[in-house]
Amino acid sequence: MEPAVVVDMGREALLITLMMSGPMLGVGLALGLMVGIFQAVTQIHEATLTFIPKFLGIALVLMFLMPWMIIKLMDYTFALFDMIAKVGLSP
């Protein structure tokens, strides 16, 4: 197996990971920032206040993007298994 193939497989894994986690992390960051600004303006310093909006926002994004995420992960897995089969067959 050539090093370039391994590097490409690793790069693809990192890109898939970023694509899967990016939207949820972005929503969590945005909601945390909005709740933080709200807490600063109203001077309500409750640590548990940020948990529920973040949880609900991330859950909604996950439910909305789940079909796309499953398709992307299946495509990556099939490509990875094809690559493993090709490498296993070569002398």
Q: What is the pLDDT of residues 6-15, one digit of tens each?
A: 888 889 999 9
Query: Whole-angstrom Cα distance, residue 69 to residue 51?
Result: 24
Establish if 85 belongs to a structural domain: yes
Domain interval for residue 82: 24-89
Euclidean distance between CA atoms 84 and 20, whole angstroms: 23
Tell me if 3 is assigned to some domain: no
Task: Extract the tokens encoding 53.
Answer: 């909006």
Each residue's pLDDT tens digit, 28-65 = 999 999 999 998 898 888 888 888 999 999 999 999 99
| pTM confidence score | 0.77
**Token pair belonging to 37:** 């600004």
Cβ–Cβ under 8 Å, residues 50 and 64:
no
- Give the count of domains, the chain: 1
Residue 13 within a domain: no
Contact at 8 Å (CB) between 20 and 72? yes
Amino acid code (one letter) for 6: V
